[in-house]
Amino acid sequence: MKCIIAEKPSVARDIARIVGATHKEEGCFSGNGHVVTWAFGHLVTLAMPEAYGFPTYSREQLPIIPDPFRLVVRQIRKGTTYTDDPSALKQLNIIRKCFDRSDRIIVATDAGREGELIFRLIYAYLDCRKPFDRLWISSLTDKAIREGLSRPADGRQYDRLYLSGKARSEADWLVGINASRALSIARGGAYSLGRVQTPTLSMICRRYIEHRDFRSVPFWKIHALPTGLSVKAIGEMTYESRKAADRAMEDLDPREALIVSSVSVQTNPVPPPLLYDLTALQKEANKRYGYTAEKTLSLAQSLYEKKCTTYPRTGSRYISEDIFEEIPSLLESLKDDPDYGDYVEKLTAGTLNRRSVDDTKVTDHHAILLTGEKFDSLTRDEEVLYRMITVRMLESFSEAAIEETLTLTATLTQREHRFGIKAKRRVKSGWKAIRGSVEEPIEEGETVVDSFPEWQEGDRLDVFGFEMTEHQTKPKPLYMEATLLSAMEHAGREVADEEARKALAGCGISTPAIRAAIIETLILREYIRREKKTLIPTEKGLSVYKLVAGRKIADAEMTGAWEVALAAIEAGAMDERTFGKSIEVYTRQICEELLTTAAGNTDDHYKTYRCPLCGNDSVRVYPKIAKCVTDGCGFKVFRELCGTLLSKEHIHALMTDGCTPLLCRLTGKSGKTFNARLKLDKDGGTSFVFDSKPRKPQT
């Protein structure tokens, strides 16, 4: 008898059908020499501090470093205590019986670090000694399952993968538990910190503060308008004042001509994009459709379980040579597609592009592909994601596009004013023919044309006039999920030290499969919130950031270095005990750092302000509102104003000086942004104050 353990009931059901285990029992299937059961995610977890005798928060007890770590059934919180999850306990008992009935176990949890950890923790908790093999597949098609079962690998080949997952889990426990307790003790509140969570929060808060405090500066440019051309000649000079730009305009004569001083045309092949990994898929789905990272992961997992696509939690955008051999048949399955069938015919008739083919860059799993399987029905959102993966496959194996870029510099005949023209045209569509040019980004100052005039140095370009345009310096945009995922993926790029940057190249904060959960955790903790497509820190999140900024717990470089170390453990290049000891040292350091924040706890509570209506010192500030607590007095100021959160400093200025500093990039009902001050009126209302005139009260 063989026992096969899957990660989810749906996967177990498919495997049971294939191996002939058709008899349904409680929590499993049996038959034909097999029993097939399943987990529900992590049924076994690391015990909480209470299990080690630390039920209360105490400075003297930190850091808490279990030796060894204890395993417990998944816990649920009831009031102030934790208890075993009844459903997890029930399924564990079923798994124990299935193991006892079998001679050998086949591990069919998701083929990755977390999937391996799910099984190994169950195996250890049940104190099982049965030998086990590993089913390592990248799709759940019947063919893939049968092939995988025909050649299972010895489970011990994946010991390093398990040790990497175990090291990650224990590191998260040590850092999260101890850092959270240390800050809570120091500041007298309830705080949640984490190994990945806190550096990510710091990135969001830093960007928000930079954006909030950015002071936009106007500048002006002058453009020449060549006769008979649809393109502008952009002036090289930037003017910091309108007067300077006006003087320059007065100095220009439309009767003069531009003389070409340099001209070049470059032919550039544009290679097709690489296939999707999970992060790339999440980023594009967020940009195009506003999908959250968590939603995209959920949809991708659903497509995988419906056998439409391959394993989604991959960090590779490449495929191996043996998978490349299957690509023609996968593309053939799209020949009847009403949208892309004709293109597939042309594509398969030629030579497929090999840019996404590289054995050395395939990690545990290759890039996300279609499986070629037919499906009955998909939800609207599943269909959107399936089409995205389809299009990307077609693009990736298509030939390169070819574009020409024209760069021209010209000077007025009688002046030193220099102007430039930049334009491009498509010579060969290649992979870009699939979507057309509608979605193509255009660089600032660049124009797309059908053809280039054959300009040469010394040629004369007549102009029919000049125009002046006003611009504003812009801050770095607030993070959207797409840009945050990219920042998490490439955290090492921001590291100043060159050697450290090289070491962290290609390694970011956490893994593709976990990043979505980190964002959702920050939202759940009310540290950040979604505002349209952007991620904005809450006052609570900003207060946490203020406490941890510049400390080790908020260091993205450190977190990225750990991901490098975890990968090294998996590869056998680092001993997991060495990593564990370094985490213990780090844990002691962050406890010391965070406990010292108690000494500077002078700004922990908001002040109470005098009410402009009743005159009492009774205006208190809360996360979403400042209001008078005197009975019968209705004074209040909502802190959420035109898409901007009024900070403690803003409230302080409003209540003491009667007016806030300039609030930048407020968003009106029309969607346009503006700058204004918020003024406190005599009747307790508020109004906007602009440079010239005030607005009517808004609150």
Question: Which phi-psi region, left, alpha or beta, contains residue 584 (left: φ > 0; alpha: ψ -120 to 50)?
Answer: alpha
Residue length of the chain: 699
Give CA 125 to chain center in angstroms.
Answer: 34
| Cα separation, 270 vs 451, whole angstroms | 18
Highest-pLDDT range among 17-31, 182-196, 494-508? 17-31
| Cα separation, 458 vs 59, whole angstroms | 78
| Cα separation, 252 vs 266, whole angstroms | 31
Q: Which is nearest to 164 in space by CA: 501, 499, 579?
A: 579
| Cα separation, 682 vs 696, whole angstroms | 13
| Cα separation, 80 vs 167, whole angstroms | 28
C-alpha distances (whole Å) from 197 to each of 254, 272, 467, 523 are 59, 34, 50, 11
Q: Does 311 qualify as catalytic in the annotation?
A: yes
Instruction: State the pTM of this model.
Output: 0.75
Determine the pLDDT at residue 102. 94
Q: How many CA atoms lie within 13 A of 649 on its CB side?
A: 7
Residue 493, pLDDT > 70, answer no
Do 17 and 31 touch, CB atoms closer than 8 A?
no
Q: Residue 96: phi, psi to the nearest 5?
A: -60, -45
Determine the pLDDT at residue 694. 43
| Neighbouring residues of 650: CB distance < 8 A, sequence distance ≥ 6 | 660, 661, 663, 678
Determine the pLDDT at residue 41. 81
The catalytically annotated residue of 125, 158, 239, 311 is 311
- DSSP conformation class of 229: -
Residue 630, pLDDT > 90, answer no
Do 125 and 357 touch, CB atoms closer than 8 A?
no
| Cα separation, 509 vs 498, whole angstroms | 18
Q: What angle do CA 125, 129, 132 make, to 5 degrees?
A: 100
Determine the pLDDT at residue 625. 81
Q: Residue 193, class by beta-carbon neighbours within 10 Å (0-12 exposed, 13-18 middle, 19+ buried)?
A: buried
**What single-letter amino acid sits at 526?**
E
Collapsed DSSP state (helix, strand, coil) of residue 685: coil
Determine the pLDDT at residue 644. 77
Determine the pLDDT at residue 322. 85
Collapsed DSSP state (helix, strand, coil) of residue 261: strand
Q: Which is nearest to 432 in space by CA: 399, 409, 472?
A: 399
Q: In this structure, what is the dihedral angle of CA atoms 382, 388, 391, 393, given to the nearest 10 degrees?
A: -90
Collapsed DSSP state (helix, strand, coil) of residue 657: helix
pLDDT tens, position by position, 635-651: 889 887 887 778 777 88
Do 539 and 606 touch, CB atoms closer than 8 A?
no
Q: How many CA atoms lie within 13 A of 482 on its CB side?
A: 13
Beta bridge partners of 458: none
Collapsed DSSP state (helix, strand, coil) of residue 81: strand
Q: Which is nearest to 587 in space by CA: 189, 169, 49, 176?
A: 176
**Of 614 and 695, the one with more pLDDT:** 614
Do 73 and 59 touch, CB atoms closer than 8 A?
no
pLDDT tens, position by position, 424-465: 888 898 999 887 644 454 555 567 777 788 888 999 988 888
pLDDT tens, position by position, 113-151: 888 999 999 999 999 999 999 998 888 888 889 999 999
Number of Cβ atoms within 10 Å of the Cβ of 81 = 10
Strands 104-108 and 81-84: unpaired
**What single-letter amino acid sits at 531?**
E
Percentage of the residues of the chain whose pLDDT score is greater than 90: 48
